[in-house]
Structure 1
Amino acid sequence: MTAKPCSNSLAVKTSHVLPPDTNYHGTLFGGKLMAHIDDVAAIAAERHARKPVVTASTDSVDFLAPVKAGHSICVEAFVTWTHQTSMEVFVKVVTEDLLTGDRKVCTTAFMTFVAVDDNGRPVSVPEVYPETEQEKTLHTLAPTRAEQRKERRKQSKELAATFGTSFPWNKGV
């Protein structure tokens, strides 16, 4: 497989934030924003792999500024690093007050996707290489984030084993 630049996977989506998408504070529901993030990040991963993908993890979704009804969000995502069958995707969300033009980065996130075949089994993905200084920074730090992901997944599995499928107060459920 031929390596591809980060920029080949860039996916961008701009959406208007409408009142039904907001909470009682008049700001965008976090879950709604996370759905936009997952959607655009999956497009970037699939564009890179040219295979179907599944979400493997979300490292973090950091909400840095509120998104108000009537504003827009622009979700940008691209593949920053690959490892055999997985791809790390960086996501940045910018909110804009469409009346004043004021723009803020409201959210950043790292997500991991795995390319799969028709049977849902992981398949190899092309390597990715950075071109810009920002891409190089993300690419260089990616192995550290991958190790942190691996450790967090191990801890999640331990928690799942500890807690099982029910809690002490609902043994019969």
Structure 2
Amino acid sequence: QRAIFKQAMRHWEKFTCVTFVERSSEESFIVFTYRPCGCCSYVGRRGGGPQAISIGKNCDKFGIVVHELGHVIGFWHEHTRPDRDAHVSIIRENIQPGQEYNFLKMEPAEVNSLGETYDFDSIMHYARNTFSRGVFLDTILPRTDENGMRPPIGQRVRLSQGDITQAKKLYRCP
């Protein structure tokens, strides 16, 4: 697991100016742990002291850890942006009971996308069937593009160009 955590941190470092260092005496730090929430993290720094990233069962995969680190550095889920309804439809009846909060749309005062457009390819975007009542039931359906195609969503392979650009803006990278 430790190797995957380090690979995910190096991935952020490779494409942005965000750096992660092994803790020595720093007051604020990340702790990889397991919590009942499974794969989860708070968004952004939450005061001083430890900040837990929960890596639960089946979460110890490179792309999932990159996603959770995205939360730590200040990224919300892409599909919760205030402008999301212009890009995706949320199919509430297909969402597992108790998971509806994962699909709530944020208010403009709660989140700033720093002028970046909606990013279907973001590592922070859920897949079409995330938290679905059935594996073949969509919970998020991308709107069709000008060619009548629905863009793929939910990749957990790498940071998208949009993720990289937004992180560079957020952290004022050179």
- Using the size of structure 1 for normalisation, the TM-score is 0.25
When Rg is computed on C-alpha atoms for both structures, the one with the higher figure is 1
Report which of the two has the higher share of strand. 1
Q: Which has the higher contact order (CA 8 A, sep 6+)?
A: 1
Report which of the two has the higher share of helix. 1
- Using the size of structure 2 for normalisation, the TM-score is 0.25
